[in-house]
Structure 1
Amino acid sequence: MKKKQIALTLAVCMIAGLAGGCQKGTADTKEESPSAKSTTKQEYQFKIIVQSYQSTYWQAAIQGINKASEELGIKVVCTGPNSESDIADQVNMLNNAINSKPDGIAIAPCDQNSVHESLQTALDRKVPVVCFDSGVESAPNGAVYCTIASDNYASGELAAENLYAGLKDRIAAAPGPVRIGEVNQESTSESISSRGLGFIDKFSELAIADGKKIAVIGNDYFVKNCNVDGVPESEADIIFEVAVPSQTTVELCATESSNLLNKSDLIAIFGSNQVAAEGILTANSNLSVLGNDPDHTVVAVGFDAGTTIKAAVRDGLLYGAITQSPVEMGEKTVETLYQIAEGEEVKDITTDCYWYDADNMDDAEIAPNLYD
C-alpha cells in the first residue's frame, strides 16, 4: 500500500507591519495595546488552558509549552479540566483567566460554541486570545488573534485515503453491503468534528468514484454535516456508522466500539483521537477481531500516539494511525503569545501531521512525534 503523508508546512508568524496578517497584537493607542504596558519580557504572564489532563497527548503539548516558556524566560500558567467532557469547568477557567488580566491567553476549547461570551469579554477587556489544537469558527470578530492547529479535516482525509487503499479490493469483491465504523469522543470541538467529517467525506468520495453507494447513520451531528449525498441504508453498498459516547472516557468509547465490532458486516473502524482509539483497542481485548490483513480481519485506524497506540500499530492490531505534533504545537502557542505581547502581527499556523504504520513509524521524520 502506498503510504501518503502530509507535512503541512508551518506558517511562520510575521513581523509587525506586514500586510495581510491576522488580527494585530497592537492597536493605535497606548491604552488599547497589550504590548504598550510597561511590562518587561521577564514580567509577561500568559494563561494557557488545555482540553484536559486525561491523555498523554495534552501532556506532550504541555512539554512544548514549558520548553518555550523556559527558552523565552517568561511565566506561563497552564490549566485544564479533568476531561474534555468538563465543558463548564473549562469555561470557568477561561473566565478566571480573563479576570486576572494576563498579557495573553491561549485555549484549546472543548466546545467551540461554549466560549463565545467569554471571548467577547476578552475582546472588550483587550486581553489577546489565541486558540490552539481546536479553533472557534464563529468567534466574535477580532477576539481570536490566530489559531495554531493541525488541518484536522485534512488529517481525517489522510486516514481515509490510507484505509481505502487497503480495503478497495475487499469492498469491490464484497457479496453484500459492508460497514465502516467511526468512534468520535465527542462532537463539540472543532478538531474532533473536523477529523470525523474529513474521514467520512474522503472515504465516501473514493468509494463513490468506484461506483459504490453510501449511507451515513448514527450520531446526528456527523450525519447532518458530512458532504455525502447518501442513500437509504437498505440501498447502500457501504454503511458508515458513527458513534459518540455520552462522555469522553476510554471506557465509554470502548462500549461504543464493542457495539460496532460485534456487527458481522463491519470491515473497518476509525477512532478520531487518542481516547477513541484506545477505546477501540480496549473493546478488542474481549473480541479479538482486529488485525492488519484488510482481506480477512477488521482493520482499525487510530489517531495520535501514546504507548498503547504505538504498541498496537507495531504489533499489527492497528492498521495505522495519524500523528500530530503536540510538542511543536505547544511551543508555537507560547511563541505566538509572546509575539503578540511584543506588538508583532501574527497569523494562523498549521502544524504537521503524518500517517504512520509498522513500516514507517521509526522514520526520522515521524518518530519524534510519537510521544508516549
Structure 2
Amino acid sequence: MTALAARGLAARALAARALAARALAARALAARALAAALFASGLLAALPARAGEIAVIVKTVNSTFWQNVQKGAETAMKGVQGHSLTFQGPAAESAIADQVNMVENAVNRRVAGIVLAPSDPDALVPAVKKAWEARIPVVILDSGLAKSAEPYYQAFLATDNRKAGELAARALIARTGPEGKIAVMSYVAGTGSEVGRVGGFTDYVKAHSKLQIVGPYYSQSQMATALNQTADVLAAHPDLKGLFGANEPTAIGMGRAVKQAGRADRIAAVGFDGNQDLQDFVKDGTLAAIVVQGSFRMGELGVATVAKVLAKQKVDKFIDTGVVLVTKENIGTDEAKNVLY
C-alpha cells in the first residue's frame, strides 16, 4: 500500500470514529430528553424501581419519641425487599442546618427514598426539591413543609396537630374551669407541628373559655430549658391554674418544674407525647393528662409508604397517624398501651 493510500485509509477511519461518537452523543442527549419528559409528565412511574437505601432523617436522635419512630421504621423494613435502612438526625431539633446537610448528602449518594421529619417548614424545601429533581421519592413525617413544596414529596404522614392541640385544650379546660390563667410551654417556633399544635390549642381556649394565656415560651426542645422556663413562670404567676407542654422534652421539663415547686395539687398540667417519664407523671398526678401520638406507627407507615412509592403503588397525599388522650384512668388500657413507649 502506498503512503498516500495509507493516509486516506486512516482519514476515513478517523472520520468513521467521529461520526460514531456524534451518533452516540445524540442518542445520550435524546435519552436524557426522554427521561426529562417522562419526569415532567408524571410518566416516570413506568420506569423500574431502584433498589438501595431508604434514608430516614428525623428532627433529632436524642429523644425517645424519635427513637420509637426508628423502631417502627425498622419493623416496617422486615416487609420490604431489596432495600436497606439508615436512620439519622441532628443532636438537637434546633440544628436545622445539620438536618438540611443530611438530606442533601442523602440525595448526593443517590438513596432510593427518603423519609423526612423536617425541623423547619421553609429551610428544608430546597433540599426536598433536589431530591425531586434527582427522582428520589420523599415521604414527610410529623411536621409539614411550606405549601410550595407540595409537588416535591409523595406523602405527608402526621398527627392532625391542630386537632391534637384542641384535644389538649379541652382536657385542660375540663380541669381548670373556663376562667383564670394558664401558660403555654412550646418548643421550636415556626415548626409545622408546633404551628398546628399550639395554634389549635390557643384558638380553642380563646373560643371556648375566658382563660388568659401566658406565653408561649420556646424551649427549643431542650428539657432543661423547659424546666427553667416553667420554674420562672410558676414564680412569676402564683395564681396560675394550668400548663400545656407541647412536646416530649418540653412536657418533661414542665412536669419536673411543677413537681419541684410542690404545686401538682394546685395546677392542672397537660403534656404531649408518651415516654416513660411522662407516663410516671400521669400516674403520680403531676400531669393531669398527656396527648400521645402514634410515634411507632409513624415510623412504620413512613417506611411502608415510601416502599409503596418505589413499587409504583398509589399512596394518599395525607395520612393521619392519630392521637390518644391518656389519663390516670385509662393509662392501663390497650388503647393507651398501643401508643405509649
**Under a length normalisation based on structure 1, what TM-score does the superposition of the two structures give?**
0.77
Q: What is the match of residue 320 of structure 2? A: 350
- Deviation track 1:35-58 (CA, whole Å, cap 9, x = no partner) reads 72364xxx3421110111121111
- Deviation track 1:142-199 (CA, whole Å, cap 9, x = no partner) reads 1011100110110000011111122226x3xxxxxx3210101111311122111111
Q: Residue 46 of structure 1 contacts residue 103 of structure 1 at CA under 8 Å; is this kept in 2? A: yes
Does residue 364 in structure 1 map to residue 334 in structure 2? yes
Q: Distance in 1 between matches of 2:109 and 2:79?
A: 24
Q: What is the match of residue 272 of structure 1? A: 246
1:69-148 superposed matches below 5 A: 69-73=77-81, 74-148=83-157
Q: Secondary structure at the match of 1:253?
A: helix
Q: Distance in 1 between matches of 2:148 and 2:332?
A: 39
Q: Residue 81 of structure 1 contacts residue 90 of structure 1 at CA under 8 Å; is this kept in 2? A: yes
Of residues 262, 265, 289, the one that matches 1:320 is 289
Distance 1:364 1:28, change over 3 A: farther
Shift of 1:34: 6.3
Shift of 1:28: 7.8
Q: What is the match of residue 16 of structure 2? A: none
Q: Distance in 2 between matches of 1:78 and 1:34?
A: 26
Does residue 248 in structure 1 map to residue 218 in structure 2? no
- Give the superposed CA RMSD: 2.0
1:94-243 superposed matches below 5 A: 94-168=103-177, 171=179, 178-207=180-209, 212=210, 238-243=211-216
Q: Residue 243 of structure 1 contacts residue 256 of structure 1 at CA under 8 Å; is this kept in 2? A: no
Of residues 289, 293, 315, the one that matches 2:263 is 289
Distance 1:30 1:239, change over 3 A: closer
- The structure in which a higher percent of residues are helix is 2
Q: Distance in 1 between matches of 2:126 and 2:201?
A: 31
Shift of 1:242: 1.8
Q: Secondary structure at the match of 2:238?
A: coil
Q: What is the match of residue 273 of structure 2? A: 304
Shift of 1:243: 3.3
Q: Which blocks of at least 5 consecutive residues in structure 1 are unaligned?
A: 1-25, 172-177, 213-237, 292-296
Q: What is the match of residue 230 of structure 2? A: 257
Distance 1:64 1:167, change over 3 A: same
Q: Distance in 2 between matches of 1:198 and 1:137?
A: 18
Aligned residues: 302
Q: Distance in 1 between matches of 2:222 and 2:45?
A: 39
- Highest Rg: 1 or 2? 2
**Under a length normalisation based on structure 2, what TM-score does the superposition of the two structures give?**
0.84
Shift of 1:246: 5.9
- What percent identity do the matched residue pairs reach? 28
Q: Distance in 2 between matches of 1:299 and 1:128?
A: 44
Distance 1:346 1:38, change over 3 A: closer
Does residue 46 in structure 1 map to residue 54 in structure 2? yes
Q: Which blocks of at least 5 consecutive residues in structure 2 are unaligned?
A: 1-34
Distance 1:188 1:339, change over 3 A: same
Q: Which amino acid aligns with 2:47?
A: A
Distance 1:344 1:28, change over 3 A: farther
Q: Residue 106 of structure 1 contacts residue 130 of structure 1 at CA under 8 Å; is this kept in 2? A: yes
Provide runs of 4+ in structure 1 moved above 4 Å.
none
Q: Secondary structure at the match of 1:33?
A: helix
- Deviation track 1:108-138 (CA, whole Å, cap 9, x = no partner) reads 0111111121122222222211101111132
Q: Secondary structure at the match of 1:302?
A: strand
Q: Distance in 1 between matches of 2:68 and 2:182?
A: 31
Shift of 1:269: 0.4
Q: Distance in 2 between matches of 1:99 and 1:349?
A: 28
Higher relative contact order (CA 8 A, sep 6+): 1
Q: Secondary structure at the match of 1:123?
A: helix
Q: Secondary structure at the match of 2:155?
A: strand
Q: Residue 186 of structure 2 contacts residue 219 of structure 2 at CA under 8 Å; is this kept in 1? A: no
Shift of 1:27: 10
Q: Distance in 1 between matches of 2:86 and 2:186?
A: 30
Shift of 1:33: 2.7
Q: Residue 219 of structure 2 contacts residue 250 of structure 2 at CA under 8 Å; is this kept in 1? A: no
Q: What is the match of residue 22 of structure 2? A: none
